[in-house]
Structure 1
Amino acid sequence: MTDPTVSDEETMTEGAAAAQEAGVGREFLRVSLEDLAEAMETRQSEYANPDEPLKFKIYRGLPRRPLTTRVPGVLGAVEALDDPALSTLLRYGYGISRQEFDTNGTWPYHRMVASARCLFAVQLYVCLADGVYHYDAPHHALVLLREGDHRPLLARATGTAGAPPEAVFVLSGLFAKAAYIYRDYAYRLCTQEAGLLTGNLDLVARAMGLRARVHHQFLDEPVNKLLGLDPDEEPALVVLPLHLAGAGAGDPRRTETETAAALSATVDPIEPQVVRSGLAVARACPRLTAVNRASFRTDTAGFAAAEPAPPVRPAVAVGSGREPLALPATEVPDPDLAQVLRSRDSGPGIFRPVASRVDGLALWARLARTRTGVGSDAVPAGAPVPVEVYLTVADLIGVPAGCYWLDPATGALHPVGPGSPTGPGTDALTAIERVTIPGPVFQHMNAVVHLVVDRDWAFDTFGDRGYRVLNQEAGLLAHRVCVAAAAQGLSGRIVNAYHAEGVRAVLGLTEERYAPVFQILLARTGPGGRVIVPVEPEAAE
């Protein structure tokens, strides 16, 4: 919990306070994306760090609801979100997939979803008809936080009406889990991870015949109070109602305005459960605290109406003399999602590809499918996600090497970029390598995906909450990209250590408003010195 002896003013540096006046969300995006030296200047070692919290958030002394471990090996449609279905959804949506043992022992636990250094900063809360729960992933159980049906309150907090959902999931960012290493930069990591988890929960829900509605906009105070969260230490980031297919998941807007103060007054407080850590986030992370607080919503009248994001188009994608590649009519079956999630991998600590031959046409087709819209308050239902996919091909069967923009309407690949901002004759992959901070090995890399957003659209539409929206929408798509890669045996490594200006140059993007917020390396990798122990589900009959 935040140190009560530290005032708000004392948590802010002069620079952070000035940034807040100028638009703290925009400024934080500039620092966290464009100026890595400044973003990482307070980074701490992950080894022998006295601020390191426990690996998992565990509630003690509260009623527990064990979930069955007998979950199906293949995901299929369900008729109700009963206990077995809920167990399956949580197991594949958020559960632990394996343990890894290596020489340093710092990344032992892995989920179905990528997490920065496996820190698992994002927590999952489940609101059902009988109560509000925290999902205890390592023990695959629900911990009861408060009794009663609070789904109507969450509908009011999101400014929506309509049929009650089967359940409402809430994702929160437990900042200390990442901030003990990354300090202020943890806000980028937590919002990215919230998007990745949202993307996975959506995929698993779809496979089970459920439909999710993503709410980036909601009244923060009552949602945090409902879950017993300290808004400086662990704020709610995403509200995700789940409906059975065809049960009216459109979530029409309420006509009356709700205020955070009035709705919060209807919620009895519960004591926040704090993960043991030597870190007081509000004091140690002034920039993070400033952008987090600036994003809070106080009434539903201020929620932005859903409008499509303008397309992010490279300067030379059209009319460059290089013809687009039409998506071939390739028959690519849907993957066994359960198996893909169990095998999904970000590669070893040092991302070191091995030489491999990969069907580029199949990967291309799978990437084209990721563009289907998800019900979200960031865009109209069914519209493409407001994030553009750029593909740099190094070695894919059937796709020439080079940089491409993936047309969300047709699936065509448009050649883009001048080819090299670093000198004549430089191939596209080498150009990307040169604007990536040294670490991953690029030899034998198959491809690199960049996800690009329009930062001006996000901040003009959502204000300082736009930082969350950008990272969470891009994270949703990033997980789909990683699943598409995993379906073909590729590791997908999300790498934030790149120079955004250099990436824009390689991709032919001439305006700074276009922000490459994700870089994902795709290749086959070896074990890299790891001993991997999968946590296989006990198959249901």
Structure 2
Amino acid sequence: MTGQKEGVGREFWRVSLEDLAVAMETRQSEYGNPDEPLKFKIYRGRPRRPLTTRVPRELTKVTALDEPALSTLLRYGYGISRQEFDTNGTWPYHRMVASARCLFGVQLYVCLADGVYHYDAPHHALVLLREGDHRRLLTRASGTTGAVPEAVLVLSGLFAKTAYIYRDYAYRLCTQEAGLLAGNIDLVARAMGLWAHVHHQFVDEPVHKLFGLDADEEPALVVLPLHFPGNTRAGIRRATVPRSGSALAATIDPIDPEVLSGGLKVAQACPTLTEVNRASLRTNTATFAAAEPGAHGDSRAPGAVGLPLPSADVPRIDLAEVLRARDSGPGVFRPVASRVDGVELWTRLARVRTGVTSDAVPAGGSVPLEIYLTVGDLSGIPAGCYRLDQDTRALRPAGPADTGTDAITAIERVTIPGPVFQHMNAVVHLVGDRDWAFDTFGDRGYRVISQEAGLLAHRVCVAAAAQGLSGRIVNAYHAEGVRAALGLTERRHTPVFQILLARTGPGGRVIVPVEPEAVE
């Protein structure tokens, strides 16, 4: 699969990131759409395991993934954080992780020693899908060997949840959201003393069969085994014996649980999405690619003199508090004038890559995603466009040499009208290498780079939230215009995420936190 130059994934990349008008031409109204699914996926007639609502208000390290620890992990990793009521009232539910229009297209499944479950977020409960310990099967499907994980979490894309508005474009949104959630679960697990490995590569058939998923309607997107650090030292490594997906699937009895969800049939309504998704599926671990360090083109401008990162006393964040407060801003993103410590934000952004373990990260290297920071109003950093140097953590000047204070305006010009840019503190772009993704992972490359970017995007939003900033992920931009504003000269370097950072007002919203009964 490596070395593929053409494929449906590459073409979908071109359309969904380079030709926004075509990508959105089948978009439906979100008001009164008869294809609208239920807000949440609900299983009927399955045993339920309620989780305790008494969770700590601060995340601390645990020594066992017992029921209280599992409840805390799921609550902060995926749970519902608040309801919002505004004049439209169309997207009332919010998690601690951003979701396109708050439709929650990505589902969370949990594999424990005693069974396989779906996480029912609104009721904070686990729904039993099958009994037995299947954790080892999932590690085999991921092409690894070693100690058995404490648990394996699986994120799937229930496409109909998002496709009822966005049709084929839902593939981009669901893979982005899977990355955002993987990034959050990684942060929460780390704060609790657990280690997560992000697997974008796995043989799909046994994973789908294990959870009773339809590969067209709700494919698995990410597999996340969780270990305590002692187990990782015991040797979690890539298996040397290839595993056949069909052989692993043959060891599992089929299940067909009854589900209430509603919505359209994606395989019929979204032919392009279905084609791209099918092309990404893998049947044998022998086809898995190993990302190579230095195998991607460099987007940085040669010889640019940068701003070295000053020493800054950055306050430690209470992750649980920050996640409860994290916000994407009101329906119309309207910044309010404020002074934000730019050096503190810069310091936090320089740390967003640390500690992530993923099969998209080369040995001794990092995934080819660059962080660009366009500064509007931040204290300690002159207005302008910068690239965050991965090695030195310096800010290197980027974009046209004469941009300066007009850098934010340049980004506004290439963003579809909607957000207000006056008083914008900063805009972050995550720039991915298209050729690296597809040359390394074939048609699965689309989801790999989209999910890796989502992982970093969530960390950017958490870094901003630690300083009281809203982080609004915006896909409505012209990629070629963003390239020019950032000084990118090759089409392979593509802005995958655009994140607006600013302090915002309530915007007419009434916000009701969904607070558990907390353990102090």
What's the TM-score, normalizing by structure 1?
A: 0.93
Query: Matches of 2:351 and 2:465 in 1, distance apart?
Result: 14
Query: Matches of 1:469 and 1:481 in 2, distance apart?
Result: 18
Query: Which amino acid counterpart does residue 243 of structure 2 have in structure 1?
Result: E
- Asked whether the equivalents of residues 73 and 537 of structure 1 are also in contact (C-alpha less than 8 Å), the reply is no
Secondary structure in 2 aligned to 1:59?
A: strand
Q: Are positions 1:24 and 2:8 aligned together?
A: yes
Alignment of 1:151-170 (within 5 A): 151-170=135-154
> Which residue in the other structure is 1:399 paired with?
381
Query: Matches of 1:71 and 1:251 in 2, distance apart?
Result: 30
> Which residue in the other structure is 1:293 paired with?
278
Query: Which amino acid counterpart does residue 181 of structure 2 have in structure 1?
Result: L
Secondary structure in 1 aligned to 2:224?
A: strand
Secondary structure in 1 aligned to 2:152?
A: strand
Secondary structure in 1 aligned to 2:379?
A: coil
- Asked whether the equivalents of residues 198 and 222 of structure 2 are also in contact (C-alpha less than 8 Å), the reply is yes
The Cα offsets for residues 6-36 of structure 1, whole Å up to 9 and x where unpaired, read as: xxxxxxxxxxxxxx99400100000000001
Tell me: CA distance 1:403–1:273, structure 2 relative to 1, closer, same or farther (3 Å). farther
Tell me: CA distance 1:177–1:382, structure 2 relative to 1, closer, same or farther (3 Å). farther
Query: Matches of 1:202 and 1:383 in 2, distance apart?
Result: 19
Give the counterpart of 1:106 among 90, 93, 105.
Answer: 90
Tell me: CA distance 1:207–1:385, structure 2 relative to 1, closer, same or farther (3 Å). farther
Shift, 1:274, TM fit: 4.3
> Which residue in the other structure is 1:490 paired with?
469
Give the counterpart of 1:338 among 312, 316, 320.
Answer: 320
Query: Which amino acid counterpart does residue 261 of structure 2 have in structure 1?
Result: R
> Which residue in the other structure is 1:252 paired with?
237
> Which residue in the other structure is 1:280 paired with?
265
Q: Are positions 1:232 and 2:216 aligned together?
A: yes
Q: Are positions 1:93 and 2:77 aligned together?
A: yes
- Asked whether the equivalents of residues 374 and 381 of structure 1 are also in contact (C-alpha less than 8 Å), the reply is no
Shift, 1:189, TM fit: 0.2
- Asked whether the equivalents of residues 98 and 109 of structure 1 are also in contact (C-alpha less than 8 Å), the reply is yes
Tell me: CA distance 1:419–1:138, structure 2 relative to 1, closer, same or farther (3 Å). farther
Tell me: CA distance 1:381–1:210, structure 2 relative to 1, closer, same or farther (3 Å). farther
Alignment of 1:108-147 (within 5 A): 108-147=92-131
> Which residue in the other structure is 1:202 paired with?
186
Shift, 1:333, TM fit: 2.6
- Asked whether the equivalents of residues 119 and 177 of structure 1 are also in contact (C-alpha less than 8 Å), the reply is yes
Shift, 1:273, TM fit: 4.4
- Asked whether the equivalents of residues 372 and 382 of structure 1 are also in contact (C-alpha less than 8 Å), the reply is no
Query: Which amino acid counterpart does residue 167 of structure 1 have in structure 2?
Result: A
Q: Are positions 1:529 and 2:504 aligned together?
A: no
Tell me: CA distance 1:471–1:21, structure 2 relative to 1, closer, same or farther (3 Å). closer
RMSD: 1.6
Query: Matches of 1:408 and 1:463 in 2, distance apart?
Result: 26
- Asked whether the equivalents of residues 44 and 259 of structure 2 are also in contact (C-alpha less than 8 Å), the reply is no
The Cα offsets for residues 441-486 of structure 1, whole Å up to 9 and x where unpaired, read as: 0000000000011110010000000000010000000000000000
Query: Which amino acid counterpart does residue 222 of structure 2 have in structure 1?
Result: V
- Asked whether the equivalents of residues 74 and 337 of structure 1 are also in contact (C-alpha less than 8 Å), the reply is yes
Query: Matches of 1:99 and 1:382 in 2, distance apart?
Result: 43
Shift, 1:536, TM fit: 1.6
> Which residue in the other structure is 1:371 paired with?
353
> Which residue in the other structure is 1:75 paired with?
59
Shift, 1:383, TM fit: 3.9
> Which residue in the other structure is 1:265 paired with?
250
Tell me: CA distance 1:383–1:85, structure 2 relative to 1, closer, same or farther (3 Å). farther
Shift, 1:407, TM fit: 0.6
Shift, 1:384, TM fit: 3.2
Tell me: CA distance 1:290–1:232, structure 2 relative to 1, closer, same or farther (3 Å). same
Query: Matches of 1:135 and 1:269 in 2, distance apart?
Result: 20
Shift, 1:308, TM fit: 2.8
Structure 1 unaligned blocks of 5 or more: 1-19
**305-314 or 23-32, which deviates more:** 305-314
Query: Which amino acid counterpart does residue 472 of structure 1 have in structure 2?
Result: Q
Query: Which amino acid counterpart does residue 93 of structure 1 have in structure 2?
Result: G
Shift, 1:319, TM fit: 2.5
Aligned length: 516
Query: Matches of 1:377 and 1:276 in 2, distance apart?
Result: 32
Query: Matches of 2:143 and 2:70 in 1, distance apart?
Result: 26
Secondary structure in 1 aligned to 2:144?
A: coil
Query: Matches of 1:242 and 1:382 in 2, distance apart?
Result: 22
Query: Which amino acid counterpart does residue 210 of structure 1 have in structure 2?
Result: L
> Which residue in the other structure is 2:391 paired with?
409
Query: Matches of 1:382 and 1:143 in 2, distance apart?
Result: 40
Query: Which amino acid counterpart does residue 99 of structure 2 have in structure 1?
Result: S
Query: Which amino acid counterpart does residue 242 of structure 1 have in structure 2?
Result: L
Shift, 1:368, TM fit: 0.2
- Asked whether the equivalents of residues 494 and 519 of structure 1 are also in contact (C-alpha less than 8 Å), the reply is yes
- Asked whether the equivalents of residues 348 and 530 of structure 1 are also in contact (C-alpha less than 8 Å), the reply is yes
Query: Which amino acid counterpart does residue 104 of structure 2 have in structure 1?
Result: F
Secondary structure in 2 aligned to 1:532?
A: strand
Shift, 1:302, TM fit: 0.3
> Which residue in the other structure is 2:290 paired with?
305
- Asked whether the equivalents of residues 416 and 507 of structure 1 are also in contact (C-alpha less than 8 Å), the reply is yes
The Cα offsets for residues 164-206 of structure 1, whole Å up to 9 and x where unpaired, read as: 0000000000000000000000000000000000000000000
> Which residue in the other structure is 2:42 paired with?
58
Shift, 1:277, TM fit: 2.7
- Asked whether the equivalents of residues 375 and 425 of structure 2 are also in contact (C-alpha less than 8 Å), the reply is yes
Secondary structure in 2 aligned to 1:247?
A: helix
- Asked whether the equivalents of residues 307 and 378 of structure 1 are also in contact (C-alpha less than 8 Å), the reply is no
**256-265 or 350-359, which deviates more:** 256-265
Query: Matches of 1:391 and 1:21 in 2, distance apart?
Result: 31
Shift, 1:417, TM fit: 1.2
Q: Are positions 1:212 and 2:196 aligned together?
A: yes
- Asked whether the equivalents of residues 309 and 457 of structure 1 are also in contact (C-alpha less than 8 Å), the reply is no
Tell me: CA distance 1:309–1:372, structure 2 relative to 1, closer, same or farther (3 Å). farther
> Which residue in the other structure is 2:370 paired with?
388
- Asked whether the equivalents of residues 387 and 451 of structure 1 are also in contact (C-alpha less than 8 Å), the reply is yes
> Which residue in the other structure is 2:411 paired with?
432
